[in-house]
């Protein structure tokens, strides 16, 4: 049985030890080196579990395609309509682009990704097929979970619901949704379809909810009601949830209570320019909070790279997390929070967990997060897949 021992590592920045890896899993800690084991020197680096990118859009990143000059209008629908057009004009190939992001993310220590993939009456399920190809081709590098995402709306574009169903049959593992009131303008009809698909295909739900303040709160209450009625506690995520950043604090408190009761997870990108959920407050209420990059360099905006340590810094900045223990909370949204949101089995640093691991260069955990130096080593299922910031496999 092949064993690998990485000496001289500090789990979560704690005491120096060795970690033994066998059959792609963590076998244990301590100085005992099994006979015949291969050994590596961790150089005193901090050992953390693989970073989790819990919300992105790999099918439409423009990574490697040259600079896109953004002259898009201010409304959400301007961005959606422009993107559908640019997909053709620029030739955004979902397989090629998702592969580029997968390899870059892996080199940055991301071992699990949830990606929303556009499904609409123009692209059909081609995006889903492209990202499925990437999921298969790079399965030794990173685990990719696909959300069938009706980016252009569902009920406003007849034929989309059937395509969503086809996406789930092809292998999308989560049913997505988008602004039930703001885009489809029929919250009941929209959520009936989303939750109907979740029930029929026994898949979790992840809904983009950009709707602000009272409108978002109204949609959120409908989502909470359905989650409880269908017994989907623990299976539903609301992404963005900007309405939790609204000013009516009594109303926000009531929503947080209801979300916690329904065990609904919240995904945040910690946006600098929008009201946003207060991460620490949600965590204190027992709500799973995960983080994601959202679009990486796409037609929506020129920002973002898929570095989840950078995302942890943004979560910290947005939420005024300054103390070392608070920086650790920010990192938690990019590790354990994402893993719990996605329901990952065997995630973590305990013996028996999968050896999806990252070695960070840093004096302490907080210092490593804020410095976000190139990752010293990334391991997926017990195999080293990146060193010193470079993936050992290139995107083909």
Give the contacts of 350 (CB within 8 A, at least 6 positions apart).
Answer: 26
Closest contact distance (angstroms) between CB of 339 and Zn ion is 19
Which of 129-137, 158-166, 290-298, 334-342 is the region at the interface with Zn ion (rule: CB under 5 A)? 290-298
Cβ proximity to Zn ion: between 234 and 301 the closer is 301
**Nearest distance from C-beta of residue 63 to Zn ion, angstroms:** 16
Residues from 212 through 241 that contact Zn ion (CB under 5 A): none
Radius of gyration (C-alpha) of the chain in whole angstroms: 21
Q: What is residue 237's three-state secondary structure?
A: strand
Contact 391, 385 (CB under 8 A): yes
- Under rule CB under 5 A, residue 83 binds Zn ion: no
Q: Which residue is nearest to Zn ion (CB)?
A: 294
DSSP per residue over 51-65, as a string? EEEEEE-GGG--TTS
What's the min distance (Å) between Cβ of 349 and Zn ion?
A: 29
Residue 178 Cβ vs Zn ion, minimum distance, rounded to whole Å: 9
C-alpha pair distances (Å), 229 with each of 39, 118, 196, 352, 394: 53, 28, 12, 36, 46
The DSSP secondary-structure symbol of 27 reads E
By CB under 5 A, residue 179 contacts Zn ion: no
Question: In the complex, what is the shortest distance from the CB of residue 237 to Zn ion, in angstroms, rounded to a whole number?
Answer: 11
Question: Distance between CA atoms of 155 and 185, rounded to whole angstroms?
Answer: 9
Nearer to Zn ion, 149 or 366 (CB): 149
Sign of CA dihedral 200, 203, 208, 214: positive
Taking the least distance from each CB to Zn ion, the nearer of 117 and 309 is 117
DSSP string, 100-169: HHHHHHHHTTEEEEEEEEE-BTTTBTHHHHHHHHHHHHTTTT-EEEEEEE-TT-STTSTTHHHHHHHHHH
Min dist CB 391 to Zn ion, Å, is: 24
Beta bridge partners of 265: 237
In this complex, which beta carbon is closest to Zn ion, that of residue 57 or of residue 340? 57
Q: Which token pair is 114? A: 């949830």
Q: Does 294 bind Zn ion (CB under 5 A)?
A: yes
Number of residues this chain uses to bind Zn ion (CB under 5 A): 1
- Closest to Zn ion by CB, 48 or 267: 267
Q: Tell me whether residue 61 or residue 181 sits nearer to Zn ion (CB atom).
A: 61
Residue closer to Zn ion by CB (options 42, 176) is: 176
Minimal distance in Å, beta carbon 208 to Zn ion?
5
What residue ranges bind Zn ion (CB under 5 A)? 294
């Amino acid at each position: 049985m092949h064993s690998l021992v990485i000496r001289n590592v500090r789990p979560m920045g704690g005491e120096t030890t060795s970690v033994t890896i066998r059959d792609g899993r963590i076998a244990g800690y301590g100085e005992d080196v099994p006979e015949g084991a291969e050994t590596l020197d961790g150089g005193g680096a901090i050992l953390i579990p693989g970073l989790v990118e819990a919300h992105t859009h790999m099918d439409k990143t423009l990574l490697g395609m040259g600079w896109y000059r953004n002259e898009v209008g201010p409304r959400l629908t301007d961005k959606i309509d422009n993107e559908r057009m640019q997909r053709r004009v620029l030739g955004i190939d979902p397989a090629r682009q998702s592969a580029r992001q997968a390899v870059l993310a892996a080199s940055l220590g991301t071992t699990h990704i949830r990606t929303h993939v556009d499904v609409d009456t123009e692209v059909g399920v081609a995006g889903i097929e492209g990202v499925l190809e990437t999921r298969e081709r790079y399965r030794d590098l990173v685990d990719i979970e696909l959300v069938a995402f009706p980016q252009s709306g569902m009920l406003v574009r007849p034929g989309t619901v059937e395509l969503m169903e086809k996406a789930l049959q092809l292998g999308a593992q989560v049913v997505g949704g988008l602004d039930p009131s703001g885009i489809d303008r029929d919250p009941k009809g929209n959520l009936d379809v989303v939750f109907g698909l979740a029930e029929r295909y026994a898949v979790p739900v992840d809904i983009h909810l950009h709707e602000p303040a009272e409108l978002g709160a109204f949609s959120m209450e409908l989502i909470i009601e359905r989650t409880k009625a269908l017994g989907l506690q623990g299976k539903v995520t609301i992404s963005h949830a900007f309405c939790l950043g609204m000013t009516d604090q009594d109303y926000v408190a009531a929503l947080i209570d209801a979300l916690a009761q329904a065990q609904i997870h919240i995904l945040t990108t910690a946006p600098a320019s929008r009201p946003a959920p207060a991460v620490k407050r949600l965590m204190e209420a027992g709500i799973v909070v995960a983080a994601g990059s959202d679009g990486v360099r796409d037609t929506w905006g020129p920002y973002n790279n898929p570095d989840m340590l950078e995302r942890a810094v943004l979560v910290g900045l947005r939420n005024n997390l300054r103390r070392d223990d608070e920086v650790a909370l920010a990192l938690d949204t990019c590790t354990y929070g994402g893993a719990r949101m996605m329901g990952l089995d065997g995630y973590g640093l305990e013996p028996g967990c999968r050896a999806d691991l990252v070695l960070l260069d840093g004096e302490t955990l907080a210092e490593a997060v804020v410095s976000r130096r190139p990752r010293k080593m990334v391991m997926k299922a017990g195999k080293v897949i990146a060193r010193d910031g470079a993936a050992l496999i290139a995107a083909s």
